[in-house]
Structure 1
Amino acid sequence: MSRLTIILADLISRAVPGQPAPATRLPSGLRVAVRTLPGGARQLSLTRTGTQKPSVKEAEVCRDCAGWTLASIEAGETRAGLPCLLVTEART
């Protein structure tokens, strides 16, 4: 099990609807937060500092490490206006 898989598993396990999203900054500088959406699906938010955008490849790696093979990846924006990528778990 990779270090990223362990970190994501910990964040995902701490995500509770209606509570602040648990987050961490990875050694690469990528900030990852996870929240639970109203329908029960979980969503990773990937951001970097300033105007730097996280790459789709980083989102794909996080999706795979989270075990969400059918997750969608889309561009978004944080409340502060920073670019981010959203990885949303598919609910079956």
Structure 2
Amino acid sequence: MDIIQHSIAVGKYLVSPLIKNLDNGRFAASVSIRSGRGNGMHDRVMRFTPCFGSHAAASHYAVNEGLGWVRERTAPSLPSTPCAA
């Protein structure tokens, strides 16, 4: 069973960790990154290969990866200026 621990709203994105208990007692991490509403809603889900020894560690990893993805897309672009000699 996948468990959504908590969601974090960042601008137009909703980042939700998805943690799954594995048969071997470890935990798998995924993250859902949702944006938009209604027919324009988009949900990206990323699954990660590392397994974790605790639910908290898996959740922390998923949230950090999701927030990193959002930051890459929302960071202001720096203008390209030539280097001064």
TM-score tier (shorter): 0.3 to 0.5
Is the radius of gyration larger for structure 1 or structure 2? 2
